Structure 1
């Protein structure tokens, strides 16, 4: 991938994370990136997401926890 595009996408992810959660630490950016990727795949190719969930039940549970964490952080950010 082009370095300039990579930097611009990182900036987009950083701003999205900041608007969503109130801050954009490297850890939060990685959580949001994983959540966005999984959400997109589960909506655009549900059978693939279902297969992944069945193949890796531990990852499915970790993703559920990550989504809950993001939802809670987003709620706290909106209440500020």
Structure 2
């Protein structure tokens, strides 16, 4: 992947994070990126995610926490 595309995708992720959560700092961008990737894979290849969840139950719990955090931040942002 070339550098220009990386920068443009980073800008897209930053804007998405800002619109979703009200701010787009690096830590939040990283969380939104992980959440978006996991959500996409879980919808497009559920058996793969099921296997991953069984293989790494601790990571599954961390993803649940991340999803809950993003939902709460989004709800707070929308209420403002």
TM bin, normalised by shorter chain, reads: over 0.9
Residue matched to 2:59 = 59
Task: Find the aligned partners of 2:23 and 2:44 in 1 and give their Cα distance.
Answer: 28
Runs of 4+ in structure 1 displaced over 4 angstroms?
A: none
Q: Mind listing any 5+ residue stretches in structure 1 that lack a counterpart?
A: none
CA deviations over 1:38-76 (Å, ceiling 9, x no partner): 000000000000000000000000000000000000000
TM-score (norm 2): 0.99
Residue matched to 1:16 = 16
SS in 2 for 1:76: helix
Task: Find the aligned partners of 2:48 and 2:9 in 1 and give their Cα distance.
Answer: 25
Q: Mind listing any 5+ residue stretches in structure 2 that lack a counterpart?
A: none
Task: Find the aligned partners of 1:25 and 1:70 in 2 and give their Cα distance.
Answer: 14
The alignment yields a C-alpha RMSD, in angstroms, of: 0.3
> Do structure 1's residue 29 and structure 2's residue 60 form an aligned pair?
no
Task: Find the aligned partners of 1:25 and 1:54 in 2 and give their Cα distance.
Answer: 32
Number of matched residues? Answer: 80
Task: Find the aligned partners of 1:52 and 1:34 in 2 and give their Cα distance.
Answer: 14
